[in-house]
């Protein structure tokens, strides 16, 4: 039976409908915490997103790094998916485990249309919740009110009621306002409901002078939010090297992991900050350190398609064929997600394409599942076995046929794949083909 995840990755509406009809859970999560809706949004499959939503898939589920479906769609620049999710009431204000909003991720990818849509939505949401005042005006008015006749009672009020103002000022880089709030009783290490301190926010936004002020006034450099992330995690996730520098000088632990075991190097890798990776390694970060799932930064960069980061990590002698908790190498990760640049770099550095993961799948089989013909071609050119089989004795041709990847099926046939090969159930690729087009190719 095709899983809901694999059905979605084919992009075939009829196949997704078939799986939905089998009454499977649409909110099941893969090892990375992604639901089927997450995968569809990440790939910009608007029709599949709509189908899943119509059948009750939850759009607010977060994956292992705190990203919602809207985060993933915005990061990929998928305008129609973003519009669909906003129409469903999804909020653009939600931040992921690295402190990034959907707008931040769209700006990271330079997706102009998505940026415009999200900014308009944010303006509407601000007006709806705050009348004619903007969030900045509300903050300024609040500070002016507190500035009047500050006495001991007002100081106590600032401590109990206005800790959020310090975080807002830190986010804006408003040094003068931060100084005023701290001078009048707001503790520099106060946390919001998610455990974030002003130092987290200042580091995430690269406000170096605000970081210095907070640290000089006693902010805790090792404070953790509800995800176990320190200010160093957030600075690394946004590539804020000056902030990383001052945090390390004040004793931040470079190898400290969050609740998923991810350290500063891992967060820099997943967000594509190659210069940050270099800085961290030069300042003592272990290039082969592993997170809670035994993944190195190289695994994470390869899976995320961060080719420059992959090159930098390999330059610093990261273990090219290290296996994670699912016995997958960085090459497995890059192959499965179709990141050709990463595949080519890893092959050049000697990654072993013969290794099987915990499911008995080689890199060629991974590319067949995802329909990544260009990656498959690169692997076969490097000497990978076209006849490799998984634990169910499926060949690459079986898997490409199951997932209806027509171009991949054509390529495999041209490359000499055996159309008569049988799996454990004695079925040929023709017998497991997912649609008529693939069946006609195999007949």
Cα–Cα dist 47/32, whole Å? 23
Cα–Cα dist 212/73, whole Å? 35
Domain extent at residue 405: 357-443
Cα–Cα dist 208/202, whole Å? 7
CA atoms within 13 A on the CB side of 422: 4
Residue 302: what pLDDT? Answer: 97
Cα–Cα dist 146/242, whole Å? 32
Quick check: is 101 in a domain?
yes
Residue 163: what pLDDT? Answer: 64
Quick check: is 411 in a domain?
yes
Which CATH number do you get for residue 102? Answer: 1.25.40.20
If pLDDT is split at 50, 70 and 90, which confidence band does 154 have? very low
**pLDDT for residue 88 is more than 90:** no
Residue-averaged pLDDT of the chain: 88
Q: Which of the listed residues 82, 99, 130 is the one where a domain comes to its end?
A: 130
If pLDDT is split at 50, 70 and 90, which confidence band does 162 have? low
Cα–Cα dist 195/154, whole Å? 24
Residue 124: what pLDDT? Answer: 65
Quick check: is 187 in a domain?
no
Q: In sequence order, what E strands does 142-217 have?
A: none
Mean pLDDT of 313-339: 95
Residue 131: what pLDDT? Answer: 45
Burial of 409 (0-12, 13-18, 19+ CB in 10 A): buried
Quick check: is 152 in a domain?
no
Q: Which of the listed residues 87, 102, 130 is the one where a domain comes to its end?
A: 130
Mean pLDDT of 149-176: 64
Mean pLDDT of 131-160: 41
Which CB contacts under 8 angstroms, 24+ apart, belong to 406-410? 406/437, 406/438, 406/441, 407/371, 407/373, 408/367, 408/368, 408/371, 408/372, 408/373, 408/376, 409/438, 409/441, 409/442, 410/441
What letter does residue 424 receive in the DSSP assignment? T
**pLDDT for residue 341 is more than 60:** yes
pTM: 0.69
**pLDDT for residue 325 is more than 50:** yes
**SS (HEC) of 296-358:** CHHHHHHHHCCHHHHHHHHHCCCCCCCCCCCCCCHHHHHHHHCCHHHHHHHHHCCCCCCCCCC
Contact assessment for residue 75 and residue 108, using Cβ atoms and an 8 Å cutoff: yes
Give the rounded percent of residues in the chain with a pLDDT score beyond 90: 66
**pLDDT for residue 256 is more than 90:** yes
Cα–Cα dist 390/419, whole Å? 16
Quick check: is 126 in a domain?
yes
Q: Residue length, the chain?
A: 443
Tokens standing for residue 259:
């609740």
Cα–Cα dist 387/376, whole Å? 13
Residue 207: what pLDDT? Answer: 95
Q: Please, what is the end-to-end C-alpha distance for the chain in angstroms?
A: 22
Q: Highest mean pLDDT: which of 5-14, 141-150, 399-408?
A: 399-408
Quick check: is 111 in a domain?
yes
Mean pLDDT of 222-242: 95
Contact assessment for residue 162 and residue 181, using Cβ atoms and an 8 Å cutoff: yes
Contact assessment for residue 245 and residue 277, using Cβ atoms and an 8 Å cutoff: no
Residue 133: what pLDDT? Answer: 43
Cα–Cα dist 229/99, whole Å? 10
Tokens standing for residue 217:
């006034």
Instruction: Tell me the angle at which helices 340-348 and 297-304 cross, rounded to the nearest 10 degrees.
Output: 140
Contact assessment for residue 297 and residue 313, using Cβ atoms and an 8 Å cutoff: yes
Least confident among 44-48, 135-139, 248-252, 372-376: 135-139
Mean pLDDT of 169-196: 87
Least confident among 42-51, 59-68, 116-125, 302-311: 116-125
**3-state DSSP call for residue 428?**
coil
pLDDT digits (tens, 9 = 90+) for 200-213: 999 999 999 999 99
Cα–Cα dist 19/93, whole Å? 33
Contact assessment for residue 26 and residue 5, using Cβ atoms and an 8 Å cutoff: no
Total number of domains constituting the chain: 2
Residue 257: what pLDDT? Answer: 96
Mean pLDDT of 395-415: 95
More confident residue, 160 or 53: 53
Residue 156: what pLDDT? Answer: 43
Quick check: is 333 in a domain?
no
Q: Which of the listed residues 109, 130, 151 is the one where a domain comes to its end?
A: 130
Mean pLDDT of 125-150: 43
Quick check: is 303 in a domain?
no
Cα–Cα dist 146/182, whole Å? 12
């Amino acid at each position: 039976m095709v899983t809901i995840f694999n059905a979605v990755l084919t992009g075939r509406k009829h196949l997704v409908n078939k799986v939905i009809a089998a009454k499977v859970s649409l909110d099941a999560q893969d090892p990375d915490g992604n639901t089927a809706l997450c995968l569809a949004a990440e790939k910009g499959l608007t029709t599949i997103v709509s189908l899943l939503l119509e059948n009750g898939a939850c759009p607010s589920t977060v994956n292992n790094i705190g990203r919602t479906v809207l985060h993933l769609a915005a990061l990929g620049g998928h305008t129609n998916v973003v519009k669909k999710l906003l129409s469903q009431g999804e909020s653009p204000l939600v931040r992921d485990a690295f402190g990034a909003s959907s707008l931040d991720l769209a700006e990271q990818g330079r997706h102009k249309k998505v940026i415009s849509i999200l900014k308009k939505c944010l303006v509407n949401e601000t007006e709806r919740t705050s009348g004619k005042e903007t969030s900045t005006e509300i903050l300024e008015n609040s500070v002016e009110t507190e500035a009047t006749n500050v006495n001991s009672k007002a100081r106590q009020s600032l401590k109990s009621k206005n800790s959020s103002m310090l975080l807002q000022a830190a986010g804006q880089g408003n040094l003068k306002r931060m100084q005023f709030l701290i001078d009048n009783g707001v503790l520099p290490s106060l946390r919001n409901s998610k455990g974030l301190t002003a130092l987290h926010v200042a580091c995430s936004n690269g406000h170096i002078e605000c970081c210095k002020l907070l640290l000089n006034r006693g902010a805790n450099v090792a404070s953790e939010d509800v995800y176990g992330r320190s200010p160093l995690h957030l600075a690394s996730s946004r590539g804020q090297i000056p902030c990383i520098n001052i945090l390390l000088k004040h004793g931040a632990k470079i190898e400290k992991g969050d609740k998923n075991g991810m350290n500063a190097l891992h967060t820099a890798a997943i967000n594509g900050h190659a210069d940050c990776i270099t800085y961290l390694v030069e300042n003592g970060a272990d290039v082969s350190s592993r997170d809670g799932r035994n993944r190195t930064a190289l695994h994470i960069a390869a899976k995320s398609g961060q080719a420059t980061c992959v090159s930098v990590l390999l330059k610093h002698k990261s273990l090219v064929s290290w296996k994670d908790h699912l016995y997958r190498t960085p090459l497995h990760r890059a192959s499965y997600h179709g990141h050709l640049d990463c595949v080519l770099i890893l092959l050049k550095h000697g990654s072993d394409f013969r290794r099987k993961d915990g499911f008995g799948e080689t890199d060629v089989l991974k590319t067949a599942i995802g329909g990544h013909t260009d990656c498959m071609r690169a692997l076969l050119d490097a000497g990978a076995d076209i006849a490799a089989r998984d634990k169910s004795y499926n060949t690459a041709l079986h898997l490409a046929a199951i997932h209806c990847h027509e171009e991949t099926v054509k390529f495999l046939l041209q490359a000499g794949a055996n159309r008569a090969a049988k799996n454990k159930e004695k079925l040929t690729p023709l017998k497991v083909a997912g649609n008529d087009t693939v069946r006609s190719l195999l007949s």
